């Protein structure tokens, strides 16, 4: 009787082992599927999302660019130091405002306002004798005070208008500083600059010299570039030549000019750069 039991156990063991292998196989197949889907399909969806913009090569590349515009004026690199001059400009603007107040000063001639005042004492001096008539003197005083107040308001309005004119004629770099800091679209870091990828793209584009009659030939070349952590171009090779030796030479010449990045990326960089003058062909 014991023999059948043992044979059943061994059979069940065999069955368990078979299920386990099946599970492992299933897991492997799922992982392979994950690799295929995650590795090949996802990047294809990511590619069109890349923003298109021009990078000012005056802006240096940084590892963690902040959000902003890569083509923002280079003078905005030091916003803190820039803010100070803005503050300093205010006192400068005041004296600038004062001289224009002079026109009102001409209006101060209507500081005829003062004229009533000398007149008033004269009246007071004469009127105190008829002491019982204080009411007309008070109303006269009120009127003169009102007149003074109105003149002051006019002067204030004229002064404000002048200040507004000054502000309108003043150059306005300070406003862009606030709205467009140096950075990249979608940047999440805290450094003023552009990302290395964009900077390299702009640099190679500027360095690439290709005669116009080579644009119509549909030539495309791919280069592999490797930079060390300190920004040195350590290796480059043509992974996909165009088939035209001259076109390939122009590409290599452009790459060779980029022997050193202006900033250290802090980690090795590897890029595949495709040189395809299709945009020029469309023009």
Partner 1 sequence: MKTYLIRLIVILVCSVGLHSTAMSREIVITTPGKQAIPLALTHVLPYDTKHLEVEKTVDDVLSADLDLSGLFELVDPAAFLDDARQIGVTSTQVNFSQWRLLGAQVLIKGAYRISGGQVELDLRLYDVISRRLLAGHNYRGQLSDLRRMAHSFADLIMKTLTGKGGAFNTRIAFVSDKSGHKELYLMESDGFDAKRITNHRSIVLNPDFSPLGREVIFTSYRQGNPDLFRKEIYTGREARISRQKGLNVSSRYRRDGRELALTLSRDGNAEIYLIGLDGQLHKRVTNAWGIDVDPSWSPIGDQVVFVSNRQGNPHLFIADLIDGHVRRLTYAGKYNATPAWSPDGEQIVFSRLENGSFNLFSITPDGKEERQLTFGTGNKEHPRWSPDGRFIVYSNDISGKKAIYVMRADGSGSRQISTLDADCSHPAWSSGW
CB 44 within 8 A of CB 142: no
Kindly indicate which of the ranges 19-27, 84-92, 93-101, 129-137 contains the residues binding partner 1, using the contact rule CB under 8 A: 19-27
Query: CB of 251: closest distance to partner 1 in angstroms?
Result: 9
CB 214 within 8 A of CB 247: yes
CB 151 within 8 A of CB 115: no
Residue with Cβ nearer partner 1 (76 or 198)? 198
Rounded Cα–Cα distance for residues 59 and 66 (Å)? 13
Please, how many CA atoms are within 13 Å of residue 58, restricted to the half-sphere of its CB? 9
The gap between the terminal CA atoms of the chain, to the nearest Å, is: 91
Question: Which burial class, exposed, middle or buried, applies to 185 when counting CB atoms under 10 A from its CB (0-12, 13-18, 19+)?
Answer: middle
| Residue of 29, 145, 164, 272 interacting with partner 1 (CB under 8 A) | 272
Kindly indicate which of the ranges 106-114, 133-141, 150-158, 272-280 contains the residues binding partner 1, using the contact rule CB under 8 A: 272-280
Strand partners, 260: 232
| Residue of 19, 27, 29, 164 interacting with partner 1 (CB under 8 A) | 27
In the numeric block, the tokens 């004492």 are attached to 121
Kindly indicate which of the ranges 76-84, 95-103, 185-193, 246-254 contains the residues binding partner 1, using the contact rule CB under 8 A: 246-254
Rounded Cα–Cα distance for residues 113 and 123 (Å)? 15
Residue 48 sits in the site that holds partner 1 (CB under 8 A): no
Kindly indicate which of the ranges 58-66, 84-92, 179-187, 213-221 contains the residues binding partner 1, using the contact rule CB under 8 A: 213-221
Residue with Cβ nearer partner 1 (144 or 205)? 205
Beta strand 269-275 pairing with 233-240:
unpaired
CB atoms within 10 A of CB 203: 18
| Residue of 182, 194, 200, 261 interacting with partner 1 (CB under 8 A) | 200
| Residue of 5, 6, 46, 106 interacting with partner 1 (CB under 8 A) | 46
Query: CB of 238: closest distance to partner 1 in angstroms?
Result: 14
| Residue of 206, 235, 237, 260 interacting with partner 1 (CB under 8 A) | 206
Residue with Cβ nearer partner 1 (22 or 31)? 31
Residue 97 sits in the site that holds partner 1 (CB under 8 A): no
116: closest CA among 151, 145, 138?
145
Binding site for partner 1 (CB under 8 A): 20, 24, 27-28, 31-32, 34-35, 38-40, 42-43, 46, 197, 200-201, 204-213, 215-216, 244-246, 249-250, 253, 256-257, 269-280
């Amino acid at each position: 009787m014991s023999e059948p039991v043992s044979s059943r156990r061994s059979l069940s063991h065999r069955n368990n082992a078979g299920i386990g292998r099946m599970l492992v196989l299933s897991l492997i197949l799922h992982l392979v599927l994950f690799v295929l889907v995650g590795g090949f399909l996802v990047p294809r969806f990511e590619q069109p999302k890349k923003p298109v913009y021009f990078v000012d090569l005056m802006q240096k590349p940084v590892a963690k660019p902040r959000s902003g515009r890569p083509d923002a004026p280079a003078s905005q690199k030091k916003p803190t130091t820039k803010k100070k001059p803005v503050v300093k400009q205010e006192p400068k603007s005041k004296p600038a405002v004062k001289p224009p107040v002079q026109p009102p000063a001409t209006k101060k001639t209507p500081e005829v306002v003062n004229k009533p005042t000398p007149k008033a004492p004269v009246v007071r001096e004469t009127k105190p004798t008829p002491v019982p008539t204080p009411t007309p003197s008070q109303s006269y005083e009120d009127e003169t005070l009102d007149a003074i107040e109105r003149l002051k308001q006019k002067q204030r309005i004229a002064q404000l208008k002048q200040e507004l004119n000054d502000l309108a004629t003043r150059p306005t770099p300070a406003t862009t500083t606030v709205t467009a800091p140096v950075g990249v679209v979608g940047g999440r870091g805290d450094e003023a600059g552009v990302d290395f990828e964009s900077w390299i793209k702009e640099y190679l584009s500027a360095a690439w010299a290709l005669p116009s009659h080579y644009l119509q030939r549909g030539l495309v070349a791919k280069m592999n570039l490797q930079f060390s952590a300190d920004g040195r171009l350590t290796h480059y090779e043509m992974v996909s030549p165009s088939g035209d030796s001259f076109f390939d030479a122009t590409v290599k010449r452009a790459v060779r000019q980029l022997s050193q990045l202006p900033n250290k990326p802090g980690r090795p960089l590897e890029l595949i750069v495709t040189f395809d003058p299709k945009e020029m062909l469309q023009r």
